[in-house]
Structure 1
Amino acid sequence: MNAIGKNVLIVDDEPSLRLLIRAVLESDGWNVHEAQSGEQALEMLPGLTLNAALIDMRMEGMDGMALLKELNTIMPGLPVIMLTAYGNVNSAVIAMKHGAFDYLTKPADNEELKAVLAKALDYSRLVDENEKLKSAAGATEQMIGSSQGMLNVKDLIEQAGPSEATILVLGESGTGKELVAEGLHRASQRADKPLVKVNCAALPADLLESELFGYMKGAFTGANANKPGRFQLASGGTLFLDEIGEMDPVLQAKILRALQEKVVEPLGSVSPVETDVRIIAATNRDLKKEVEKGNFREDLYYRLSVLEIRIPPLRERVGDLPSLVAYLLEKLGRKNNKKVRSVSPSFLDALGRYDWPGNVRELENVLERAIILSRSEVLGPELLPPQVINPAPRQASPEAAPSTQPTQQTQQAAPTATGTPTLDDAERQALIAALEANQHHRERTAEALGISRRTLQYKLKKYGLTRR
C-alpha cells in the first residue's frame, strides 16, 4: 500500500461492470487497475501500489472472501470494498467482520461509489502515516527488556537492519524470532514494501514448494490458474522463513539457488522468474549440528548466516520479567476486557523461580489465564498453574548465579549429610561473603555479584539471609 496518489484495483469477472466503474473513477482522478479474477489479482499485486480495492463477492475460482483473506495477509491495512448483489448483502456484512472496509450493492450509485472510495483514501493515508510514525519510533520499540542479552539483540537489529545481508535468527520456541524479523524489516530500506512470512514447519514439502515459488495453470490437478509464490509477493521487500531447520533437503537446494541466482521457478514453468527479496531465516535448532548430521545443507547454512542474531531464552533474562509482565498485563487486560493493575510480590517471585521452557509465549499464556480467572485488580500466586508454583529444580542461569570468583569462604562451604558441598551450599556462602564485603548494602552487593536486586532478594530469602 502507498498513500501517494489514488490507486485502486477492481476485481470482477464482468467486463462491462469493470468498464463502467473505471470510467467513473478515472473521471474522479483515480488510477485504475483491473483483474477479471482473484487469481489474476494476486499475480498483479507484486507490481502494484494501492490505496483501495473493489472486489466482487461472487466470482469463478477464487471468490471475493478468499481474495479478501489473501489481501489482509499480503497488504495489511489496505481498505477493501466488497461488491455484492442486492440479495446477498449478508455475505458482505460477514466479509466486513473479516476485515473488509465497506460494501456496495450492484449496480453501485456513482456518487456513493466516489464517497466510499474517498473515505477509503483517507483511511489509507492514515494507515500509511501511522506506519511511518512507528518506523520513526524505532525498529525495536516492541522488544521489551533491558537485560544485556536483549540490549545486544536490539543493537544488532539497528546495525544490520539497513543492510541487505541475509540474517539468521536463532532462539528457542517462544523467544520472539518473528518480532526480530519485523524489527529488521522496519529498520531496512525495504520498510515500505511487503514483509511476507512463511512457517516452513507448518506445511509438507510439496505444498511448501508451491507456496514459496508459486505454480502455473495445469501444473498439477487442481491448479486452475497461475498463482504467484511468496518470493514474488515479497518482491522489493523481505521474506521471513521461520523454522527453516525443518525444511526438506530437496527444497533447501532450491532455496539456495534462489539466494545465489536471484531467480525462482514456479511449478510447471519452463522459464525462471527474477526475484528481489531480502531473506531473514529463523530456527530453534542448532543448524551447525544439523549440518554435521547431514540434515541441513552446509552451503545453505553459510548463505543464511551472514549474520546471526541469538535471542536469549527467558530464563537467562529474568531481570526483564517486571517490564514484560507490565507490558503483557496492559495488552491482555485490554484484550479480555479486564482491568488488572499489577501482580503481587509473591506472584512475581514465583515467575522468577520458574524455568520458562516456552519462553515469552508461555509467559503470555500464563498471564492471560490468570487475568481471565482473577476477581481482583492485583494478580496473586493462587492464579498460577501448578508447574509455575512448584517448579522442577534447575541450574542457575547466568543472571541468577553469582559471577564473582570463589572466595575462601565459598571453598569452605558447609558439607551436606554425605560430606560433599552442594551448589546451594556454595552459593549461600558466596552470598554471605559478598554481603559482608559490602557491609550488607544490598544494591552494592547485587552489583558486585552481577545480578539484579530482585534476584538478590530472592536468593537471600531462599537461604534465610533476609535478616542482617
Structure 2
Amino acid sequence: MIEVLVIDDEYPILETLRMYLSEKGYKVLVAKDGKEGWEILLRYMPKVVILDIRLPDINGIELLRKIRSRFLETRVIMITAFHEMQTVIEAMKAGAFDYIRKPLDVGELDRAFERAVNASTGLHDHGIGAKEEGEQEVLVGSSEAMLELQKTIGILCTNNATVLLQGETGTGKELVARLIHKNSSLKDGPFVVFDCAGVVENLLESELFGHEKGAFTGAIYTKKGAVERAEGGTLFMDEIGELPLQLQGKLLGFLQRKEFQRVGGQEVLRSNCRVMAATNKDLKEMVQKGQFREDLYFRLKVVQIQIPPLRERLEDIPELVAHFMWKINKELHLGISKLEKGVLDLLMAYSWPGNVRELENTLVEAMVKASGAMISKEIVKQLLGHQRSSQVKSKVHLSTLEMVERDHILDTLKKVNYNRKKAAQILGISLPTLRAKIAKYEIAMP
C-alpha cells in the first residue's frame, strides 16, 4: 500500500484529505506542523507528500527543500490559500512536483496526485533552492493560465534548456524570459536582448556574432556581438521569425556547438549563454512554406511556451489594472487611486487585440486625462470606443495593407504626441523599425 503524508495546520483539510485518499486505497499519514511531518517522513518515507506553504513552525518551501535533499524519490505537492507569483516560482525551483491552490479542486488534485504516484520511483530530479532577492518584474494574474505559466517558469529556472516563447504582440514574452533568467543559476550573468526585426539586414550577422576591425567598410574597431556579450548569461532573441534564412544556418551551428566566429575573423570563439527566442508568428507554418529552417525550429523548441492572449484570461484584468495603476502613479508622479463604478466592466468587455501592453497604455492615457483621483467611465468609453472605430475605419475605408499600416502608425503617433519611443512600444515594434516606417510612409513629424 502506497503511503501518503499530508502536512497542514488546518484540521478540516487534514481530515478531508485523510478520508478522500483512504477511500482510494492509500495509507494516509497526517501532521499538523513541520516538526511532526519531518518525524513521520524519517519513519515511513512516504512516496507522496501534500504540503501546505504556511505552517506554524516552518515555511513550507524550507521544508520542501529539506525533503528534496533527503528523499529524492518523494514527490511533493504544494497547496496554499495564497497566490503569489514568486512563491509559485520558488516552490517549483525548490523541487515541488505540483502547486495547487485552496479551496482544493478534486479534479485538479486527482490529476496531480496520480502523476505524482506514477513518478515517485526511478526519477531523480534536483531542484535549485537559491532565493531571489528583490523582485524586479512581476507576472500579474491568478487565472489558471497564469498559474500554469508560473509553474513552467519555476521548472525552467532549474536548467538552462533552450526556450521558444510564442504569443501575440504585447503578451509579455520578454518579461517571461527575464523572469526565467532572474530566477535561474545564470541570474548573475547578463541578459542581452537581440531584436531580429530591429537591425538592418546587412548588419544582422555583425550585431549577432560581432566583427573584427577592417571586416567591412566602416568597421574601424573590433566589436563583440550579442552572442559574445551574453556569455555566462542569457541571449533573448526577439522576433526570431524575422531572421534571414542565411543567418538561420549560422545560428543553428552556434546552438549545436556553442562556437562562432566574428565577421572577418578566423578565431573560433565560444559562448556558453542560454538562448531564449520569441515570436508572434507561426514558425511551424513558416517551416512548411520554406521560410524558416526546420532543423533550427526543432533546436529552438526544446521547451516551448505559449503565452495566452489577454482575451483568454480576462479574469486577470482587475489585478492587472491595480498593478499598472500603482506603476503609472509611481513613474508619472500621479495620485489616481480609484475607478468609477462600471470601468472594470468596460475593460473586461473589450477584446484587447494589443494584449497587456495595450491595457497598460490605455490606463496611462486614462490616468493622464483623469480629473481628480478617479478614472471616469466616460474617459474609458472614449478611449475604447476610439480604438474600436479606428479598427472599423481601417477595415472599411483603406484598400491596401500599406495604407492600413500608415494610418495606424500615424494614429498612434498622434495619441502619444509624436513620442517615437512610446509609439514603438504601443505598436510592438523596435524604435529603428518605427523610424524606417516613418521615413517609408513620409509621415511628417512636428
Tell me the TM-score normalised to structure 2 length: 0.56
Aligned to 1:135: 132
Gaps of 5+ in 2: 1-129, 390-446
Structure 2 residue 304 is matched with structure 1 residue 311 = no
Q: State whether residues 264 and 274 of structure 1, in contact with CA within 8 Å, keep that contact through their aligned partners in structure 2.
A: yes
**2:279 pairs with 1:283:** yes
SS of the aligned residue for 1:355 comes to coil
Cα 1:354–1:274 change in 2 (3 A) is same
Task: Pick closer, same or farther for the CA change 1:237–1:318 going to 2, 3 Å.
Answer: same
What's the offset of the Cα at 1:336?
1.6
Give the structure 2 partner of residue 221 of structure 1: 217
In the TM superposition, residue 360 of structure 1 has moved relative to its aligned partner by 0.7
Match of 2:192, SS?
strand
Mapped partners of 2:156, 2:169: distance in 1: 23
Cα offsets for 1:114-161 (capped at 9, x unmatched): xxxxxxxxxxxxxxxxxxx9824679x600000111111110000012
How many Å separate the matches in 2 of 1:156 and 1:261? Answer: 27
Partner of 2:182: 186
Question: 1: CA distance between counterparts of 2:164 and 2:214?
Answer: 36
C-alpha distance in 1 between matches for 2:341 and 2:276: 40
Greater alpha carbon shift after TM alignment, 251-260 vs 329-338: 329-338
Select which of 342, 346, 361 maps to 2:338: 342
Matched residue, 1:261: 257
User: Given the alignment, which residue of 204, 208, 212 partners 2:204?
Assistant: 208
Q: 2:324 is matched with which residue: 328, 350, 354? A: 328
- Whether contact under 8 Å (2:173, 2:307) holds in the other structure is yes
> Which of 379, 382, 388 pairs up with 1:383?
379
CA deviation profile, 1:25-69 (whole Å, cap 9, x unmatched) = xxxxxxxxxxxxxxxxxxxxxxxxxxxxxxxxxxxxxxxxxxxxx
Is 1:195–1:237's contact at 8 Å kept on the other side of the alignment?
A: yes
Indicate the SS of the match to 2:321.
helix
Residue 340 of structure 1 contacts residue 378 of structure 1 at CA under 8 Å; is this kept in 2? yes
Distance 2:373 2:131 in 1: 31
Q: How many Å apart are 1:348 and its aligned residue?
A: 1.0
Question: SS at 1:345's partner residue?
Answer: coil
Counterpart of 1:363, as a letter, is L
| Residues in 2 aligned to 1:300 and 1:198: alpha-carbon distance in whole angstroms | 17
Partner of 1:37: none
2:363 alignment partner in structure 1 = 367
TM-score, length basis structure 1: 0.54
C-alpha displacement of 1:340: 0.8
CA distance in 2, matches of 1:319, 1:363: 14
Q: How many angstroms does 1:392 deviate by? A: 5.8
Q: Please name the residue that 2:32 is paired with.
A: none
* CA contact 1:149–1:312 (8 Å) conserved in 2: yes
Could you say what secondary structure the match of 1:135 adopts?
Answer: coil
The answer on 1:154 being equivalent to 2:150 is: yes
**Letter matched to residue 251 of structure 1:** L
Q: Secondary structure at the match of 1:254?
A: helix
The whole-number CA distance in structure 2 between the counterparts of 1:372 and 1:386 is 14
Q: 1:391 to 1:353 in 2, by over 3 A?
A: farther
Alpha-carbon distance in 1 for matches of 2:169, 2:305: 15
Which one of the candidate residues 152, 170, 174 is aligned to 1:174?
Answer: 170
| Alpha-carbon displacement from aligned partner over 1:278-310 (angstroms, at most 9, x marks no partner) | 000000111111111111110000000011111
Q: Which of structures 1 and 2 has the bigger CA Rg?
A: 1
- Does 1:195 find its partner at 2:194? no
Among 244, 247, 261, the residue aligned to 1:251 = 247
Distance 1:134 1:318 in 2: 31
RMSD: 2.1
Rate the CA distance shift 1:332–1:387 in 2: closer, same or farther, 3 A. closer
State the match for 2:228 in structure 1.
Answer: 232
Q: 1:220 to 1:277 in 2, by over 3 A?
A: same
What is the aligned-residue identity percentage?
44
| Runs of 5+ consecutive residues of structure 1 not aligned to the other structure | 1-132, 394-468
Would you say the 8 A contact 2:237–2:276 is kept in 1?
Answer: yes
- The 3-state SS of whatever aligns with 1:309 is strand
- Whichever residue aligns with residue 258 of structure 1, its letter is F
Contact preservation (8 Å) 1:205, 1:251 = no
Contact 2:192-2:230 within 8 A present in 1 as well: yes
* Alignment check: 8 A CA contact 1:350 1:389 kept: no
**Matched AA of 1:306:** V
**What is the identity, as a one-letter code, of the residue corresponding to 1:135?**
E
Secondary structure of the corresponding residue to residue 141 of structure 2: coil
Shift of 1:390: 7.7
Q: Which runs of 4 or more aligned residues in structure 1 lie more than 6 Å from their structure 2 counterparts after TM superposition?
A: none
Q: What is the CA-CA distance between 1:209 and the residue it aligns to?
A: 1.2
